[in-house]
Amino acid sequence: MNIETFQVYCDLVETTSFSEAAERNGITQSAVSQQIRALEDGFGVILVERGRRNFAVTPEGEVFLRAARSILDSYRGIEEDFAEMRDIVAGQLTIATVYSIGFHELPPYLETFREQYPEVDLQVQYRRSNQVYADVSENLADLGLVAYPQERKGVEIEPAWKDRLVVICPPSHPLAKRKKLDLKAIDGERFISFEPDLPTRKAIDGMFSQAGIQVKEVVEFDNIETVKRGVVIENAISIVPGESVGPEVASKSLVRIPIDGKFIWRPLGIVRRRTKAITPAMREMITILKTKKAEG
């Protein structure tokens, strides 16, 4: 048994696909099957239930999965420790991010990092906010990026930057010609919302409460892409981070209207595990991510 076998098994469980696990590891699907079978024969247990349509991990498979992840973390920790001793920015770096940051604000920083540190295996995971905190806390991600960061047990938060919330609507909407809006101007408007458990939704609800207004909620979505699409389809409005609608504004499918008043800035934070040593790759990524804060 070698370290690659543990990675193959973890990838198989994550993807639930022998072909995708094979592609991730640069081997054949048959090789994946052989490695899993060898593990099962070696331990005398069944790790996964194989079916044409259904894939399931057995209780024994869950035990092995936890052990495999622990072994991989330890192995990668050795690589990171050696790299830190040499102060070489290398090894693996995993970032968990909420969708709005990952899709619209993070890409230029990833490009800068990859250009400067090509030896780092940089991976990005797109998650809901609560899962970002969990991934960092459970050491499944090295760094996390969230909006409206909150202190959580086992993690530390570093301020990154702030983005501005704006009203969006289709060009045909009655508010589309406005250059700026007070929140009272959207009282009673048809509104596309984020789901209630998302931090940005909670902040927007607080803004409405402070302004003493109510909107007519049409539908709720769990990510910014479907919110934008809902605004177009329903000829409604929403409030989103301004940088998230750049392409739609450029193509004139949406109009972006600044909000006048307070509570319009959405803070973003970098999450890291409190007990995790900061590797050179983590350090340099944090520096790049905070560049915007310094420039702003």
* Highest CATH level, class, for 1-86: mainly alpha
Percent above pLDDT 90 for the chain = 61
Q: What is the pLDDT of residue 105?
A: 86
Residue 265 banded pLDDT, cuts 50, 70, 90:
confident
Other C-beta atoms closer than 10 Å to the C-beta of 122 total 16
Q: What is the CATH number of domain 164-265?
A: 3.40.190.290
When pLDDT is cut at 50, 70 and 90, the band that residue 85 belongs to is low
Q: Where are the beta strands (DSSP E) in the chain?
A: 48-50, 55-57, 91-98, 120-127, 143-147, 155-169, 181-182, 190-194, 216-221, 238-241, 255-260, 265-273
Residues 188-229: pLDDT tens digits? 999 999 999 889 999 999 999 999 999 999 999 988 899 999
What average pLDDT does range 7-36 have in this prediction? 90
pLDDT of 70 strictly over 60: yes
Which residue in 210, 226, 218, 194 sits closest to 264, CA to CA?
A: 210
**Of all residues in the chain, what percent carry a pLDDT higher than 70?**
96
Model confidence at 295, pLDDT cuts 50, 70, 90, reads very low
What's the pTM?
0.64
- Which pLDDT tens digit goes with each residue over 136-166? 998 999 999 999 998 888 899 998 888 889 9
Q: Are 144 and 271 in contact (CB under 8 A)?
A: yes
Q: Quick one: tokens of 162? A: 């702030």
pLDDT of residue 248: 93
As a whole number of angstroms, the distance between CA 129 and CA 205 comes to 17
What pLDDT does residue 151 have? 87
Domain range list for the chain: 1-86, 164-265
What's the pLDDT band for 82 if we cut at 50, 70, 90?
A: confident
